Amino acid sequence: MEVTKVDKGSKAVRQAASRRDFLALSTAALLGGRTTLPSMAGVRAEQMKDETPRRDLAADPQRPRYHLMPPANWMNDPNGPIFWKGQYHMFYQHNPNGAFPENMHWGHAVSPDLVHWKHLPIALAPTPGGPDKDGCWSGCAVDDRGVPTIVYTGVFPQVQCIARSDDGMMTWRKHPGNPVIAAPPQGMETTGFRDPCVWREAGEWFLAIGSGIKGQGGMVLLYRSKDLIHWDYLHLLCKGRKDELLSGKDSVSTGEMWECPDFFPLADKHALIVSTQGAVIYSVGAYANRYFRPGAQGRADLGGCYYAARSVADEKGRRILWGWIREGRSDAAQRAAGWAGVMSLPRVLTLGHNGALGMAPAPEIEALRGKHQRFESLPIVPGSFSLLKSVRGDSLEIQAEFQPGACEAAGLTVRSAPDGKEQTSITYSRTSGQLLVERERSSLSLDVDRTSQGGPFTLAEDETLKLRVFLDASVIEIFANDRACLTSRVYPSRSGSLGLGLFARGDKALLKALDVWEMRPISPDRLTT
């Protein structure tokens, strides 16, 4: 690496070096978790610190106001959500030194209600010379007889480590014997070995870890332990096939590496959620004799902005899932903004129709609802562009019920400029059987991703389309009929792109009812406190 030539005063040069490093790290990750990287001496994190003034973060119109995010800088995967003494603790992959993915720490926040969050001190940081010297990657948190314990991946090579807290999760001590799992099972040439998910079963600990075999497919390895320290490899909990597609209608492949496995009981079944380096897919199936047999499968999210999902069971017995909402703009734009990555809203998972995964926003979010407007029985005529005059905003919850009739497509237009030059369509395509976010006109900026996102979604004969849409600045989260989700990002360039409209294509549709709430922010300053 040419890092010794880095001009410490130049952000652009430093970024080039750090990107090279990250690409090298990612490549190493794909090479099986055994690759030791060249030293990063010369570009250590402290030399790559970006500082964005708080006032810039607070005034940034693209920065969400009611989603959890770090006070500044980079976040990716949700890590180790745990319900502890009446509160929800959430950790996340975090680079406290800038809005770029490097030198991973575990950020930490706590909430009494899944909605309002308070930041706690960073939980884990890489230890120089330790097995996590190049990053504390993803993992989980468990209650070990009253002691909160994090199980996570250290890099490089990819190994599994633990850390415990004796003071209510304010500080963490890493186990002196780390790594507790030093390598994948002997003889396995894996595409990766990371992101442990641990649970207690029949008086023992079990650990599922993300992995895969090149040319074959993604897989989850199963380990067992009595004490979280000594682990025995058992067998594959489940595996995929490289070119396997989810279903005839969904072109998403299950890939060669499964990251962030999340495995849990759901009603009388079990569910496995994995991130395939492209999509987040779920399987609801049967768990017996320590093997998981997948049943109904699907995408946990139809967009391309939702990844690395993790869940927790709370005291009400609910299973709650979060994912990392990625950015859809250039690395340079992220770094200039001083923040990147957003935590999704909490989703309550249920066993849905035909054994599929049911997904709905946690009802606690309704506490943020402010001013309300309701519209009923509006016919939607194809070809006309019209916005609802009284509704404007980029911090809204929208509930809409459509009777699609014989239309080709129908839906909502959000973040629309008065002249329609900027607008984003949330579209149910009846003819192609898809739910889409059409982003071609979402921004006049050329620096953002404006490709359409979506996937298979069909309605039964007499079923109406029920959309719940959460707009929060650049974030759009959509729940359709409690069984499909689509998370997306849009970055309108005009401050007036705040309109909401309805559309139909091919034939008329009927809007049965539309409820719109203005959503209150969860912090006065976009979570910069």
Residues annotated as part of the active site: 77
Residue 77 near residue 260 (C-beta atoms within 8 A) = yes
Percentages helix, strand, coil for the chain, rounded to the nearest 5?
A: 10, 50, 40
Q: What is the DSSP letter of 336?
A: H
Q: Phi/psi class of residue 454: alpha, beta or left (left: φ > 0; alpha: ψ in -120 to 50)? A: left
Q: Phi/psi class of residue 188: alpha, beta or left (left: φ > 0; alpha: ψ in -120 to 50)? A: beta
Phi, psi of 6 (to 5 degrees): -65, 130
**CA 28 → CA 110, 134, 350, 462, distances in Å?**
33, 12, 37, 51
Least distance from ligand DQQ to the Cβ atom of residue 503, Å? 35
Q: Which two tokens stand for residue 482?
A: 């409690």
DSSP bridge pairs for 239: 219
Nearer to ligand DQQ, 62 or 153 (CB): 153
Least distance from ligand DQQ to the Cβ atom of residue 164, Å? 20
Q: What is the DSSP letter of 363?
A: G
Which residues of the shown chain bind ligand DQQ in the complex (CB under 6 A)? 76-77, 93, 104, 137-138, 153, 194-195, 259-260, 275, 307-308
Q: Identify which of 438, 394, 436, 383 has the alpha carbon closest to the alpha carbon of residue 417.
A: 394
Q: Which two tokens stand for residue 421?
A: 């030059």
Q: How far apart are alpha carbons 316 and 183 in whole angstroms?
A: 37
Least distance from ligand DQQ to the Cβ atom of residue 227, Å? 24
Which residues are within 8 A (CB) of 139 and not within 5 positions of it... i.e. 6 or more apart? 79, 80, 150, 151, 152, 153, 160, 195, 196
Nearer to ligand DQQ, 469 or 475 (CB): 475
Phi, psi of 18 (to 5 degrees): -70, -35
Whether the upstream peptide bond of residue 402 has omega within 30° of 0, thus cis, is no
Q: Which two tokens stand for residue 201?
A: 């079963």
Nearer to ligand DQQ, 139 or 393 (CB): 139
Phi, psi of 276 (to 5 degrees): -100, 20
Nearer to ligand DQQ, 184 or 393 (CB): 184
Q: How far apart are alpha carbons 443 and 490 in whole angstroms?
A: 7
Nearer to ligand DQQ, 262 or 422 (CB): 262
Least distance from ligand DQQ to the Cβ atom of residue 77, Å? 5
Nearer to ligand DQQ, 77 or 327 (CB): 77
DSSP bridge pairs for 342: 325
Q: Which two tokens stand for residue 176?
A: 């002196």
DSSP bridge pairs for 132: none
Nearer to ligand DQQ, 342 or 412 (CB): 342
- The residue whose Cβ lies closest to ligand DQQ is 137
Nearer to ligand DQQ, 98 or 501 (CB): 98
Least distance from ligand DQQ to the Cβ atom of residue 328, Å? 16
Which residues are within 8 A (CB) of 85 and not within 5 positions of it... i.e. 6 or more apart? 168
Q: How far apart are alpha carbons 445 and 441 in whole angstroms?
A: 10
Least distance from ligand DQQ to the Cβ atom of residue 177, Å? 21
Q: How far apart are alpha carbons 139 and 174 in whole angstroms?
A: 14
Least distance from ligand DQQ to the Cβ atom of residue 378, Å? 42
Nearer to ligand DQQ, 43 or 155 (CB): 155
Least distance from ligand DQQ to the Cβ atom of residue 136, Å? 9
Least distance from ligand DQQ to the Cβ atom of residue 336, Å? 22
**CA 341 → CA 306, 331, 394, distances in Å?**
10, 12, 18
Phi, psi of 204 (to 5 degrees): -130, 165
Q: Which two tokens stand for residue 65?
A: 């106001």
Neighbour count for residue 180 (Cβ, 10 Å)? 21
